[in-house]
Amino acid sequence: MKLHSSLLALIAIASTASAGSLYEVPLKDIEGQDTSLKPYEGKVMLIVNVASKCGNTKQYTELQALHEEFEKEGLAVLGFPCNDFGGQEPGTNADIKEFCSLKYHVTFPMFDKITVKGPNKHPLYQELSGPTSPFPGDVKWNFGKFLVGRDGKILARFEPKTKPDDAAVLSAIKDALAK
């Protein structure tokens, strides 16, 4: 019985620590500067693994539109380039930044290129898609999306082919912003 109570306490601690730990994960922005998700605490975050040479790359347009429409209400669209799927993000951070700026006029925050699956998975994606996530399992392709609430809890996961302006995505964002 004592062991059972201890296990339940550990599970409760792990569950509450997980929500706050997203904000503590060390990151680098697209310029290579140290940062974290702490500046987005209290905001709704749409975290997306992105790539420049993917069939889904045109989703940058829709992500930028979400950013423009909902930023003032508290939505932060956050782009994390990755080269995990077919080598579709081969460029440097400078190349990625230039591409996104010139071709898609991206103004939402972009971060350092990371790994989102496999044994070298970045700690952020260990939190988002690891076994303790409410939506576990490796990201399947570029432009997978995780919606995180103002409290740091993962609210929804959308597969790569689900466009940012899909009714389900918009509904989930609006619901999260209303809380």
Catalytic residue positions, numbered? 54
With b for 16 or more beta-carbon neighbours within 10 A and e for fewer, the 105-137 pattern comes to: ebebbbbbbbebbeeebbebbebbbeeebeeee
Phi (first) and psi of residue 155, to 5 degrees: -100, -35
CA-closest candidate to residue 158, choices 142, 170, 167, 169: 169
d(CA 172, CA 179): 11
**Residues with Cβ within 8 Å of residue 115, at least 6 apart in sequence:** 82, 84, 121, 122, 125
